[in-house]
Amino acid sequence: MTTATTNIAARAVDAWKVYGSGEAQVIALRGVDVELEAGHFTAIMGPSGSGKSTLMHCLAGLDALTRGQAFIGETQITGLSDSGLTKLRRDRVGFIFQQFNLLPTLTAEENILLPLSIAGRKPDPDWYKTVITTVGLGDRLGHRPSQLSGGQQQRVACARALVAKPEVIFADEPTGNLDSRSGAEVLGFLRNSVRDFGQTIVMVTHDPNAASYADRVIFLADGGIVDEMLEPTAEGVLDKLKNLDVTAGGA
Amino acid sequence: MLRASLKSLFSRKLRLTLAIVAIVLGVSFLSGAFVLTDSLGARFERLFTSINQNVDVQVALSDDGQDADPTPRITQAQIDAMAALPGARSVSGDVSAVGVIPFDREDGKPATTSGAPQIGGGVLGDDPFALVQLADGRWPSTDDEIVITRYTANQTHSATGDRLRVFLPEVNEAREFTITGTAVYDGDRDSLAGETLILFEEGFAQRTFYGQEGLFSGAYLGARDGVTQEQLREQVAPIVPDGFEAKTGEQANEDAASEVQAGLSAITTYFFGPFAIVALLVGIFLIFNTFNILVAQRASELALFRAMGASWGQVTGSVLIEAVLVGVVGSTLGLLAGIGLGLGGSAALTSLIGAQLPGAGITVSATPVILAYVVGILVTVVSAFVPAIRASSVPPLAAMREVNRPDKPLKALTIVGLVFAVPGIALLILGLVGSSLTPLLFGSLLTFLGVVILSPLLTRPLAGVIGRVVGWGMSGRLGVRNALRNPRRTAVTAAALMIGVTLVSAASVLGESFTRTIDQTINQSVGAEVIIQTNTTGGPPGEIGFPDRATEQVRAVPGVDQVVPLYVSIEARVDNAAPPFGGTFATDDLAVMRDMFSMKAVEGDLRTLQPGEFVADENTFDSRGWELGQSVPIQLDKGAEQQYRLVGVYESTPIWTDTLVLPKQAVAGFAGPLALQGYVSLDDGADTDAVVDGVERVMADYPLVTVGDRSALLDQFDSFIDIALGIIYVLLGVAILIALLGILNTLLLSIFERTRELGLLRAVGLNRRGVMRMVGTESVVMAVFGCLLGIILGVGLGAALSSALIERDFLTVIAIPWVSLIVFVVVAAVAGVLAALWPAWRAARLNVLQAIAYE
């Protein structure tokens, strides 16, 4: 669906998100403008309360902006009905969450095919084989989530997001609940899917090491974009974050 | 600790409300039965008080006198002697009989009441006790004059001056009288309780009811000023004739009222009892499940208590305190509902009687109140016991993090279930082989409990199959998987429905078997084309029915071939033991009866019986251990015990099992001389309708007698079974209602627990309809699972009971009512959908973001 004239997979224009009112009012996003390129691995970082998760939720059609617009490709998602958003998520977006990512009643294979089953579509057999081979779950496909390790579960979740070939995959702290080795496996896998298959991935994380797998890191603080970094390294990201904490703490 | 558990109690009002509903229903049926009985009883007590106003001493037949033959009477001389007593101000001899039935002047049909007596009495002039007063006209002074009450006049569409046809008992014929006046009761009331009353000239009444003038069936005395009821009673007592006793007016009222109340209590118990039992039984499952759910939801809260040092006992106690509170609230509401039920029931019954029973408001004695609370609280606490123990086993660690507590293996459950089911099935088989009912019933109960306990094991195989049928599409499949993921929870939820369905399926099988059996038996073995029957609510057989003279008239109707009149005694004691269950019969010619009913001789001969001879069916013969030619003592309703010689044994069939047939001469010892039923066969080529008309004309004088062809008889049997099944279907409705709440409860819990899963499903593109379908499918699987278990169990039990009855010749076939069973499944599925509506709506409205957001 991405048009030839632009290679922007998702963008936000003057995005505002306000929770509550009066004394209890919290402004999570203050007029954010951001464009996320297709075929790239973008990480969104920032301290707690910076609005990074809110930005991702609004871009993914899970939450609605208070003001401004969000787009997936050229489709404006702001103002879509619940069924419109559902259809959008089903057909054009993939998700990877931090935890409780799989349905315990389904086998690994059924979990992977869940979005396609819901949409009533058949998987492309070649692509399915490729995905399975990439995540390395060949002999575990018949297992239930409770019989898999945390890393294996998250790889199943990655496979689920990939198999439907969505325009963009949103990953919310995908390594938050994993040990460092499993985390590295999952991140490597995500990066490879961008390099080898041209998948677009947007990842929210607070882990500089995870962010170093991305092509580009966007830094948020106090509901606004404060900086960005291309071809990041873990050390570089960490330094940026320290600065942010200082400025945020000082403000 | 108490404070903490109270606080958490109020925060979960909704879920507890569902549990309370079960208690409310059960307790309301229970207390309603008592309130209704007491309130009606109070009304009757007022009624008797008003009947006996101004009466200080009543002389009436004693228990012995009622059984004596001939019935003792009081003479005019004895009445005069009572009048001469120093304490007596006035005396009135009682001349009365029941079964005096007037005919409606408009349609010529008998004007019957719905249960209230139809009384005839004798009067000389004004009632000395002023209970009945003339409203217009004058008292009767000749044999063909009567006075009727205003209610009777309304019922028969007649007025003073009209001629009215009245059926007279004892002489058993209808005659015409001139109405010389109408009467009302004290206070200008048309009737006391919907009864009809016809007053004859006293001498005529005595001759008609007692055979000669100057006889009375009792006496009423009024005391002089300054003489108490007890003093007058003591004066009367020495001169009371044999077979009579003197009671004070107060005592007489009390005795009469308590007799009525005993009868009422039997009716209300039989009617409300099953409802209360089913509601409470199903309620146990609902409450058990609710508390399990609450404990599961509160795991972290309970763990926090434990972590802060609350003891094992305190945690268990906190759950039990909740149970007690739920029980108290449920019992209170149930009691109030029960009082409402009693009020409504008493109003409904009063209007059914169609009369002005004196109002006495509503009577709530201590019994229903105590019972309501004891039963309500006990049921709740017992049901909550296991969940309470489970609550205490929550590890303190659960406060800190999600502790995964896997489902306990089902092994222990299996063993316990088998401990019930195996002996249960053994007893069932024993009962079937030995054709004895006690092991059969115990076996059924144990098997039932066993299956309830084993039902979690059956969840995967059985509900899996159901799921394959109803689980369409991805959301359907997910719903099925959800139903299967916690077998215990699904099974307990389904068990609530299973109870009701088991009862109803078993009853349906029995009902269908009875209907088929009766149809077959009557069509194959009853040779009568026209059947004469008597409405047995009108009195005991013998006192109601038609006399021999009517039988002779029927024999003379053109087209009639043979007539078999059947005289029935239900109280004959045979061989010093209980009366035969099927009844003791007499007829004028056994040979004709044998042909009419295709009776087959097993031993001896079925010929016309001579005095002192009898025949019995094979079951009676075997079970009483008789031999052909043996003499057996038989004590009939009246007269001395007599020896009868067994001359024949006939094959037992559903209409002739546990029965005796005596010769016509024995009817002298029956409660009365009337035949209860008549079976008429026709000449070849005779027109059935014409004969029915002819017989109807003969029977027109006998108010309780009806005439019909064979299909009318079948319809009558079928309608009995339909009424019984109707009550059972209402029972099913109650059980389904409570089971629905159980499903609702379970679904709400499941949705709560699976919030994140729902969020994930919504995030990856499942729309609201899909979510609702998923929840609905889970619900339907649970409901149909419970229904199928109930049907399997119920049909099994019904068939077992039926085959035991076949063994005893009450039935000939086992019939499975397939259509009804399919309807049950459909109803269960619909119920499942209904139960899912609200939970599904909630699940669909779930905020996706909140569902997947993590702390």
Res B568: pLDDT: 92
Query: Whole-angstrom Cα distance, residue B788 to residue B610?
Result: 58
ipTM exceeding cut-off 0.95 for this assembly:
no
Instruction: Give the closest of B481, B756, B848 to A62, CB-based.
Output: B848
DSSP letter at B107 equals T
Q: What pLDDT, in 10s, does the model give residues B68-124?
A: 777 889 999 999 999 899 988 889 899 988 889 999 999 888 888 777 788 999 998
Could you tell me if A95 lies within 8 Å of chain B, comparing CB atoms?
Answer: yes
CA distance A105 to chain B (A): 6
B849 vs A contacts (CB less than 8 Å) = 57, 62-63
Res B833: pLDDT: 92
Residue A150 lies in a domain: yes
Residue A187 lies in a domain: yes
Provide the token pair at B302: 């309970």
Contact A115 B756 (CB under 8 A): no
**H or E element in which residue B175 lies:** strand B173-185
A118 vs B contacts (CB less than 8 Å) = 474-475, 761, 764-766, 770
Could you tell me if A124 lies within 8 Å of chain B, comparing CB atoms?
Answer: no
Could you tell me if A5 lies within 8 Å of chain B, comparing CB atoms?
Answer: no
B762 vs A contacts (CB less than 8 Å) = 86, 89
B844 vs A contacts (CB less than 8 Å) = none
Smallest CA-to-CA distance from B91 within B77, B106, B107 is with B77
Contact A83 B768 (CB under 8 A): yes
Residue A2 lies in a domain: no
**Which chain A residues in 20-79 lie under 8 Å from chain B, judged by CB atoms?**
57, 62-63
Local mean pLDDT, 10-residue blocks, chain B (855 residues) = 62 71 84 84 79 85 80 90 90 89 90 82 85 91 94 93 91 91 88 88 92 90 89 90 89 83 78 80 82 77 76 82 88 91 80 61 82 90 86 70 56 82 83 73 83 84 84 85 85 86 89 88 85 81 88 92 92 85 90 91 90 91 90 87 92 87 91 90 90 91 87 82 83 82 85 84 87 93 92 89 82 87 91 91 82 60
Res B491: pLDDT: 87
Residue A211 lies in a domain: yes
Res B3: pLDDT: 67
Query: Whole-angstrom Cα distance, residue B761 to residue B770?
Result: 9
Provide the token pair at A235: 């050390």
Bridge partner list, A30: A16
A vs B, Cβ pairs < 8 A, gives 73
Average predicted confidence (pLDDT) for chain A: 86
The 3-state secondary structure of chain A reads CCCCCCCEEEEEEEEEEEECCHHHCEEEEEEEEEEEECCCEEEEECCCCCCHHHHHHHHCCCCCCCEEEEEECCEECCCCCHHHHHHHHHHHEEEECCCCCCCCCCCHHHHHHHHHHHHCCCCCHHHHHHHHHHHCCHHHCCCCHHHCCHHHHHHHHHHHHHHCCCCEEEEECCCCCCCHHHHHHHHHHHHHHHHHHCCCEEEECCCHHHHCCCCEEEEEECCEEEEEEECCCHHHHHHHHHHHHHHHHHC
Query: Whole-angstrom Cα distance, residue B422 to residue B426?
Result: 6
Task: Report chain A's C-alpha Rg in angstroms.
Answer: 18
Smallest CA-to-CA distance from B182 within B167, B162, B166 is with B162
Q: To 5 degrees, how large is the angle CA B795–CA B797–CA B800? A: 105
Could you tell me if A16 lies within 8 Å of chain B, comparing CB atoms?
Answer: no
Could you tell me if A118 lies within 8 Å of chain B, comparing CB atoms?
Answer: yes
Could you tell me if A106 lies within 8 Å of chain B, comparing CB atoms?
Answer: yes
The DSSP line for B501-513 is HHHHHHHHHHHHH
SS3 state at B847: coil
SS3 state at B679: strand
CA distance A146 to chain B (A): 11
Could you tell me if B763 lies within 8 Å of chain A, comparing CB atoms?
Answer: yes
Could you tell me if B485 lies within 8 Å of chain A, comparing CB atoms?
Answer: yes
Please tell me which residue of chain A has the smallest CA distance to B762: A86
B689 burial type by CB count under 10 A (0-12 exposed, 13-18 middle, 19+ buried): exposed
Please tell me which residue of chain B has the smallest CA distance to A98: B854
Res A4: pLDDT: 43
Smallest CA-to-CA distance from B151 within B186, B191, B100 is with B191
Instruction: Give the closest of A82, A114, A160 to B768, CB-based.
Output: A82
| Residue written as token pair 């009366």 | B579
CA A3 to each of CA A73, B122, B772: distance values in angstroms, whole numbers, following the listed order: 8, 110, 36
Please tell me which residue of chain A has the smallest CA distance to B486: A105
Query: Whole-angstrom Cα distance, residue B159 to residue B136?
Result: 10
Please tell me which residue of chain A has the smallest CA distance to B849: A62
Question: How many CB atoms within 10 Å of residue B665?
Answer: 14
A102 vs B contacts (CB less than 8 Å) = 760
Residue A143 lies in a domain: yes
Please tell me which residue of chain A has the smallest CA distance to B406: A146
Q: What pLDDT, in 10s, does the model give residues B471-528?
A: 788 888 888 888 888 888 888 888 888 888 988 898 899 889 988 888 888 888 888 8
Res B855: pLDDT: 42
Provide the token pair at B98: 């029941």
DSSP letter at B357 equals P
Task: Report chain B's C-alpha Rg in angstroms.
Answer: 34
Query: Whole-angstrom Cα distance, residue A198 to residue B554?
Result: 103
Res A3: pLDDT: 43
* Residue B720 CB contacts under 8 Å (≥ 6 apart), including other chains: none
Query: Whole-angstrom Cα distance, residue B135 to residue B187?
Result: 11
User: With the CA atoms of B552, B554, B560 and B563 taken in that order, what torsion angle do they form, in degrees rounded to the nearest 10?
Assistant: -60
Query: Whole-angstrom Cα distance, residue B35 to residue B334?
Result: 12
Instruction: Give the closest of B475, B478, B764 to A89, CB-based.
Output: B764
Instruction: Give the closest of B474, B764, B849 to A63, CB-based.
Output: B849
A103 vs B contacts (CB less than 8 Å) = 478, 757, 760-761
CA distance B760 to chain A (A): 7
Instruction: Give the closest of B485, B762, B849 to A57, CB-based.
Output: B849
Query: Whole-angstrom Cα distance, residue B45 to residue B105?
Result: 34
Please tell me which residue of chain A has the smallest CA distance to B846: A82
* Residue B266 CB contacts under 8 Å (≥ 6 apart), including other chains: none
Residue A158 lies in a domain: yes
SS3 state at B271: helix
- CA atoms in the 13 A half-sphere facing the CB of B96: 15
The residue segments making up the domain with residue A189 are 8-250
Smallest CA-to-CA distance from A75 within A171, A164, A14, A2 is with A2
CA distance B409 to chain A (A): 16
The answer, yes or no, to whether residue A249 has pLDDT greater than 50, is no
Which residue of B756, B764, B848 to mutate against A (max A Cβ within 10 Å)? Answer: B764
Could you tell me if B848 lies within 8 Å of chain A, comparing CB atoms?
Answer: yes
The answer, yes or no, to whether residue A85 has pLDDT greater than 50, is yes
Question: How many CB atoms within 10 Å of residue B693?
Answer: 12
End-to-end C-alpha distance for chain A, whole angstroms: 42
Contact A86 B768 (CB under 8 A): yes
B481 vs A contacts (CB less than 8 Å) = 105-106
Please tell me which residue of chain B has the smallest CA distance to A63: B849
Query: Whole-angstrom Cα distance, residue B336 to residue B29?
Result: 11
A94 vs B contacts (CB less than 8 Å) = 764
Smallest CA-to-CA distance from B505 within B127, B823, B165 is with B823
B763 vs A contacts (CB less than 8 Å) = 62, 89, 95, 97
Question: How many CB atoms within 10 Å of residue B576?
Answer: 10
The DSSP line for B684-733 is TT--HHHHHHHHHHHHTTSTTEEEEEHHHHHHHHHHHHHHHHHHHHHHHH
Q: What pLDDT, in 10s, does the model give residues B718-759?
A: 888 888 888 888 888 888 888 888 888 888 888 877 888 888
Instruction: Give the closest of B485, B767, B849 to A105, CB-based.
Output: B485
Contact B854 A103 (CB under 8 A): no
Instruction: Give the closest of A89, A104, A106 to B765, CB-based.
Output: A89
Smallest CA-to-CA distance from B11 within B294, B284, B290, B296 is with B294
Residue A180 lies in a domain: yes
Bridge partner list, B98: B119
Could you tell me if A1 lies within 8 Å of chain B, comparing CB atoms?
Answer: no
Could you tell me if B324 lies within 8 Å of chain A, comparing CB atoms?
Answer: no
Instruction: Give the closest of A83, A95, A104 to B767, CB-based.
Output: A83
B238 burial type by CB count under 10 A (0-12 exposed, 13-18 middle, 19+ buried): exposed
Could you tell me if A87 lies within 8 Å of chain B, comparing CB atoms?
Answer: yes
B475 vs A contacts (CB less than 8 Å) = 118
Domains of chain B: 55-251 (no CATH), 456-524+714-855 (no CATH), 536-703 (2.40.40.20)
What's the number of domains chain A is made of? Answer: 1
CATH code of residue A202? 3.40.50.300
Could you tell me if A99 lies within 8 Å of chain B, comparing CB atoms?
Answer: yes
A145 vs B contacts (CB less than 8 Å) = none
Query: Whole-angstrom Cα distance, residue B638 to residue B70?
Result: 8
SS3 state at B364: coil
* Cβ–Cβ under 8 Å, residues A34 and A55: yes
Residue A98 lies in a domain: yes
Bridge partner list, B221: B57, B91
End-to-end C-alpha distance for chain B, whole angstroms: 28
Which residue of A58, A87, A89, A154 to mutate against B (max B Cβ within 10 Å)? Answer: A89
Provide the token pair at B366: 């201590």
Please tell me which residue of chain B has the smallest CA distance to A54: B849
Contact B481 A105 (CB under 8 A): yes
The amino acid present at B164, given as its one-letter code, is L
Contact B760 A100 (CB under 8 A): yes
